Structure 1
Amino acid sequence: MSVVVSLRRIGLPRLIVHASVLVICFIWLIPTLGILVTSFREAGQITASGWWTAFTGAAETSAARLGEPSTAKQNGTSYVISGSVFEGRKGGTVRAFGTRVAAPTEFAAGKPADIGDGETLTINEDGSYTYSKNAPFEGRGKRVYLSVATPPSFTTENYRTVLTSQGIGQSFVNSLTVAVPATIIPILIAAFAAYALSWMEFPGRALIIALVVGLIVVPLQMSLIPLLKMYNEIGNFFGVPSRSYAGIWLAHSAFGMPLAIYLLRNYISGLPREIIESARVDGASDFEIFVKIILPLSFPALASFSIFQFLWTWNDLLVAMVFLGTGKDQLVLTGALNALLGSMGGKWEILTASAFITIVVPIIVFFALQRYLVRGLLAGSVKGG
């Protein structure tokens, strides 16, 4: 009865919305979970089975060679070779076996199988086998194919390979050196601009606001080359190197500034006018109002933009390669991991481990600031009368 009352209080439409959100979140997280599990698996397991079998074990098909004819022992009128198919290799549980590559599960484990020419083969689940023939064995040891169930196993070797690869540590530091200032600089400048466009009267304010909104939709690729050319000309005039952190900081700041100004202006313009006017009546200057009132109240919007800007600069490869270069000491983490994947070929275990090494810092930043994200994005959408 209490459950029914609770459902009535929540309301059916609201319950459907919540359930739909949970389902969407679950479906959205499935690929990420798959990448995470795959990053801890061995290459052979990844090739043989999907990641969803990692916790229950997987059946792998492999080949083995039985003992040589010289090891056969005569037992009455028969000749017998015995041993283990797991000798010198990783073990498991044999589910089935076969003598042809096209039929590796032709015979069940633990049961004698007549394989023709007077030969009988029994392979048990623990890998022990008995191979008998009514005549002496000839040639090489017989090749058999096995369906082996392996227990769940995980390894950190994939992460060790990525982290100990040459240059990864320096690239991690390079990414932090790029992302942190490239996040702070546009926030500082955009906060001043947003306050001016919200609470200061001056000619052309509406035109500047429209220009900022228009710049949000300008593609990065279209403005990248002109910006680089302008930076090089200014750098040559002042003697600044063409490939430096200053260049990439300015580039990321320029590309992130329109969204930052738009986002912060929406929030700051929605703050109560009475607070601003009371501060001015008390004799506070615009700078004092901005520092002591606006900035503390605008923290949700600042944190919201910080998430977007940091994720963009951390995952960037194009701007980093253009403004910072592709040298060994200049590569950011995305560039270094891209080069590592190129040298390692198409190894999924390296790819998935690299993916999680790349996203670990953005995940920390996101979960640290995510409670401010929605508040900052919805800022200014609803105002009081």
Structure 2
Amino acid sequence: MSRSARASYAQAVSAKVAAGAVRVFLVAAALFWLMPTLGLLLSSFLSPGDLNRGGWWQALTAPARLTADNYERLLANDTITSSLLNTVAIAVPATLLVLVLGAFAGYAFAWLEFPGRDWLFLVVVGLLVVPVQVALIPVSELFGSIGLFETTAGVVLFHTAFGLPFAVFLLRNFFAQIPRELLEAARLDGAGELRLFARVVLPLGGPAIASLGIFQFLWVWNDMLVALVFADSANPPVTVALQQQVRQFGNNIDVLAPGAFLSMVIPLVVFFAFQRQFVSGVMAGAIK
């Protein structure tokens, strides 16, 4: 074997070894990252007595201890089940409103001419840096005066208001990348602005809209601060309901573990259901 052939063979072996080491590291990192989720899942299937005697890892050596009794008690807990439904009633409208309003506003800022457009867009960009905590007290006073405090509608409006600046900023920048010639050709064919928006802009902006919807849904679903302040204390979202369980029953792990895992599974299902659109939106934004 010639010297050049031996060098090429050594380089190929080194590349395979390096790639294998990277794969091993990524698998180890993924397992380490998933370990808390695995622990929560196994804890949700262990009885309180078994959890008091040891950690969740005992289920790996004694799988016969796993039981679904915790989930049966969870479904019998009216506070948790109603809080899940209330969370859906908040997250879905808050996500849809942000998507619809953000898409219309993003298209207007990208392709419509109107007085003060650039200045208004600067205001929208400036709202991105406003923290939620700053608005809690003034919005609480406003909602109290108009009867929206401790209502589902109030929580939805708050999430919609704070989700719109990012939505408008993201969608405006995405829509602005659409070729002008494509829009002009549609206008020459007689398409009005609404038809142009529905038939051309929305299909092209589908990946970005799907990505925005995933982010907004996850943010609203996992929110606790806004729900703790504005939601009805008698019928709170699941994050507040689980927090109340901790406060009232410090060792109520048989309800907390399955409740926490169930509240985590629903956003995961939404993410994996729209995973392809999410990846497309991220790749499109990176390319453009």
Q: What's the TM-score, normalizing by structure 1? A: 0.65
1:54 maps to 2:59: yes
- Alignment of 1:205 with 2:117, yes or no, is yes
Question: Which residue in the other structure is 2:90 paired with?
Answer: 178
Match of 1:219 in 2: 131
Correspondence 1:333 to 2:238: yes
**Paired residue for 2:32?**
27
The equivalent residue for 1:354 is: 259
Amino acid at match of 2:75: L
| Contact 1:55/1:152, CA 8 A, preserved across alignment | no
Residue type of the partner of 2:42? V
Q: What residue in structure 2 maps to residue 141 of structure 1?
A: none
Q: Deviations over 1:335-385 (max 9, x none)?
A: 2222223332234343221211211221211111122223323444433xx
After superposition, residues 370-385 of structure 1 pair within 5 angstroms as 370-383=275-288
- Residue 17 of structure 1 deviates from its aligned partner by 5.7
SS at match of 2:287: coil
Q: CA deviation at 1:181?
A: 0.6
Q: Using the aligned pairs only, state the percent identity.
A: 42
Provide closer, same or farther for how the CA distance between residues 281 and 17 of structure 1 changes in structure 2, counting only shifts above 3 A: farther
Range 28-37 or range 274-283, more displaced: 274-283
2:46 to 12, 18, 41: 41
Match of 1:166 among 69, 73, 78: 78
| Whole-angstrom distance in 1 between the partners of 2:217 and 2:34 | 22
- Aligned counterparts of 2:19 and 2:153: Cα–Cα separation in 1: 50
- Which amino acid is 2:48 matched to? A
The AA in structure 1 aligned to 2:249 is: M
Separation in 2 of the partners of 1:152 and 1:379? Answer: 48
Distance 1:165 1:290, change over 3 A: same
Structure-2 change in CA distance of 1:200 and 1:378 (3 Å): farther
Q: Which amino acid aligns with 2:55?
A: G
Q: State the distance in 2 between where 1:31 and 1:322 align.
A: 29
Shift of 1:19: 5.2
Partner secondary structure for residue 167 of structure 1: helix
Matched, 1:291 2:198: yes
Q: How far does residue 15 in structure 1 lie from its aligned partner after superposition?
A: 6.5
Amino acid at match of 1:32: T
Q: Distance in 2 between matches of 1:47 and 1:226?
A: 45
**Given that residues 243 and 323 in structure 1 are in contact (C-alpha distance below 8 angstroms), is that contact kept between their aligned partners in structure 2?**
yes
RMSD: 2.7
Q: Name the structure 2 match of 1:268.
A: 175
Over 3 Å counting, the alpha-carbon distance change for 1:271 and 1:356 in structure 2 is: same
Contact kept, 8 Å, 2:245 with 2:256, in 1: the verdict is: no
CA displacement 1:14-41 (0-9 Å, x = unmatched) = 7666555443322211111111111111
Are 1:341 and 1:350, in contact at CA under 8 Å, matched by a contact in 2?
A: no
Cα deviation for residue 187 of structure 1 reads 0.8
1:52-131 matched pairs, under 5 angstroms? 52-57=57-62
What is aligned with 1:251? 158
The 3 A distance-change label for structure 1 pair 314 and 251 is same
Tell me the TM-score normalized by structure 2.
0.85
- Classify the secondary structure of the residue corresponding to 1:55: helix
TM-aligned CA deviation for residue 319 of structure 1: 1.7
Which structure has more relative contact order (CA 8 Å, sep 6+)? It is: 2
Higher helix share: 2
Residue equivalent to 1:316: 223
Distance 1:53 1:263, change over 3 A: same
- Secondary structure at the counterpart of residue 114 of structure 2: coil
More strand by share: 1
Contact map agreement 1:263 1:377 (CA 8 A) in 2 = no
Equivalent position amino acid for 1:37 in 2: L
Q: Is the 8 A contact 1:266 1:380 kept in 2?
A: no
